[in-house]
Amino acid sequence: MTAWRRWQDYATMLFGVLLFVSPFVFGATSNRTAALSAYVLGILLFLSGIIAAATREARRSPILNAPGVVAIVTFLAPWVLGFSTVTAVAWTAWVTAILTVVVAATFILMRRPQTAA
């Protein structure tokens, strides 16, 4: 596919926006660690979606690309940064990370050549 035509990249950008607004939606802006993590990781997810959309070369692996790397960091952040007790923001981080990897996997599965059996 050509650049700026993959729905998976736009989905990654949407996940970044959802993660960014999650502290406001769930009223968790008082927990600075959780809120700042959601803001930074949401921006990183959004930017990684832009980077992925701007490249002509298709992503080959959900792990070896910018959205995949940011998704792994996003998934681990609640435990590493200690805000897993802020359940709404932590769950949002976990769900957006998993969805980012699933969306990347759909892109990879659609690109696989079909083999005749």
Of 28, 39, 32, 38, the residue nearest 88 (C-alpha): 28
What is the pLDDT averaged over residues 64-82? 89
Of 17, 9, 16, 14, the residue nearest 107 (C-alpha): 9
More confident residue, 43 or 67: 43
Q: Please tell me the least confidently modeled range out of 26-35, 50-59, 97-106.
A: 50-59
- pTM: predicted TM-score of the whole model, two decimal places: 0.85
Asked if pLDDT for residue 22 goes beyond 90, the answer is: yes
**Mean pLDDT estimate for the chain:** 86
Of 6, 38, 34, 35, the residue nearest 107 (C-alpha): 6
More confident residue, 76 or 51: 76
Cα–Cα–Cα angle for 74, 18, 24, nearest 5°?
100
What is the pLDDT averaged over residues 39-61? 83
